[in-house]
């Protein structure tokens, strides 16, 4: 299980760019505890209002003192952010920190979990304005509802597979 599982609200126009593969980094104005290998569950905001996908964090870029170093962040994300420079600058106007969350292993759920259904089945999960951390139990509930394995357990699976091939030593 990843250390951090984040429920992240993303506007529909940017979410669709993630889903079609043109956007490979999510930009944020607020620092999170995310690190490489953590999991993000994507909530697409209004008008869609649904949990629709998950991705693994490949790496994180954090730029402090952003007003003096905005060009530094732009150089690192411009080829992956699917955003025009003008919109990028507008988004970060007045921000003190810039964050780039690079993604990998995108999984689009077989069926989106719409907000109305989410509220009925999991009242403890409220889509955030920006982000919210989820517990492993909440993730398990989401997995059962969307009928999709969200948490990548490949490391465990590999270990279990290898155990099948280890022969006991007999003397």
Does the structure show a pLDDT above 70 at 104? yes
- The answer to whether residue 81 is domain-embedded is yes
Residue 170 within a domain = no
Q: Does residue 92 lie in a domain region?
A: yes
Give Cβ neighbours of residue 69 (< 8 Å, ≥ 6 apart): 63, 98
In the predicted model, is pLDDT for residue 41 greater than 90? yes
Label residue 156 by pLDDT band (50, 70, 90). very low
Is the residue at 16 inside a domain? yes
Q: How many whole angstroms separate alpha carbon 3 and alpha carbon 93?
A: 31
155, containing H or E segment: helix 154-165
- The answer as to whether 171 is a domain residue is no
> Within the chain, how many helices (H) and strands (E) appear?
6, 6
Q: pTM of the prediction? A: 0.83
* CATH number, domain with residue 119: 2.30.130.30
Q: Is the pLDDT of residue 84 over 90?
A: yes
**What is the average pLDDT across 40-60?**
95
Q: How many CA atoms lie within 13 A of 155 on its CB side?
A: 5
Domains: count for the chain: 1
pLDDT at residue 152, rounded to an integer: 63
Q: Are 81 and 13 in contact (CB under 8 A)?
A: no
Rounded to 5 degrees, what angle do the CA atoms 144, 148, 151 make? 90
Q: Which domain holds residue 48?
A: 5-165
Ranked by mean pLDDT, the top range of 1-10, 49-58, 113-122 is 49-58
């Amino acid at each position: 299980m990843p250390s951090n599982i984040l429920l992240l609200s993303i506007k529909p126009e940017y979410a669709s760019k993630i889903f079609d593969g043109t956007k490979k980094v999510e930009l944020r104005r607020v620092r999170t505890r995310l690190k490489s290998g953590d999991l993000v569950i994507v909530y697409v905001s209004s008008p869609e209002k649904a949990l629709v996908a998950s991705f693994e964090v490949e790496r994180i870029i954090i730029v402090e003192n952003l007003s003096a170093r905005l060009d530094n962040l732009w150089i690192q994300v411009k080829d992956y952010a699917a955003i025009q420079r003008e919109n990028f600058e507008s988004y970060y106007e007045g921000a003190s920190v810039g964050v780039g969350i690079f993604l990998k292993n995108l999984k689009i759920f077989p069926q989106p979990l719409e907000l109305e259904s989410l509220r009925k089945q999991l009242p403890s999960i409220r889509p955030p304005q920006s982000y919210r951390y989820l517990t492993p139990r909440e993730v398990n509930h989401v997995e059962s509802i969307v009928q999709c394995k969200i948490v990548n357990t490949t490391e465990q699976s590999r270990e279990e597979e290898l155990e099948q091939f280890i022969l006991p030593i007999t003397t």
